[in-house]
Structure 1
């Protein structure tokens, strides 16, 4: 049981690292920071705002793909050049940031 839990934890850490790397590769970190507002909201603020919402991952993935405006202030976020799978991966990762 302990071994399975360790493997699961290692897998989640690895997935989280890969997702953070994807955010860096796609330029997300130019406007977003882990804990502080930059041009856009921090990842922790996004995770808190959408915590407990059943459609949070799909909603965020859609915002990543299509862009948006008005939710976090007057600066719009342009559509991002990511695949549907990458948008979902990033959205899932955002929801885990604490």
Structure 2
């Protein structure tokens, strides 16, 4: 169950961050509200996840997968460049999360 909550927290954070891109510096109401709602839900779900998962593991997965997902959204949907450096960075983030999980975190 903690991984389901964590996946939902990641999805909410990614949605909030994507909405932030469209908020135009918080000058557009609906994307700004979407940002606030996404982050409120993300932190609420992350807090619930921490009841049964170590903070280091949960936060590493939340931040790493969220970062990689937002970078991919930027590349595939927002027209951001996909160069070798960016792609290597995304792969390193994912590798870091995998290594933390293989390290015996509980």
Aligning the two structures, in what range does the TM-score lie when normalised by the shorter sequence? 0.3 to 0.5
Q: If the length of structure 1 is used for normalisation, what is the TM-score?
A: 0.35
Higher helix share: 2
Q: If the length of structure 2 is used for normalisation, what is the TM-score?
A: 0.33
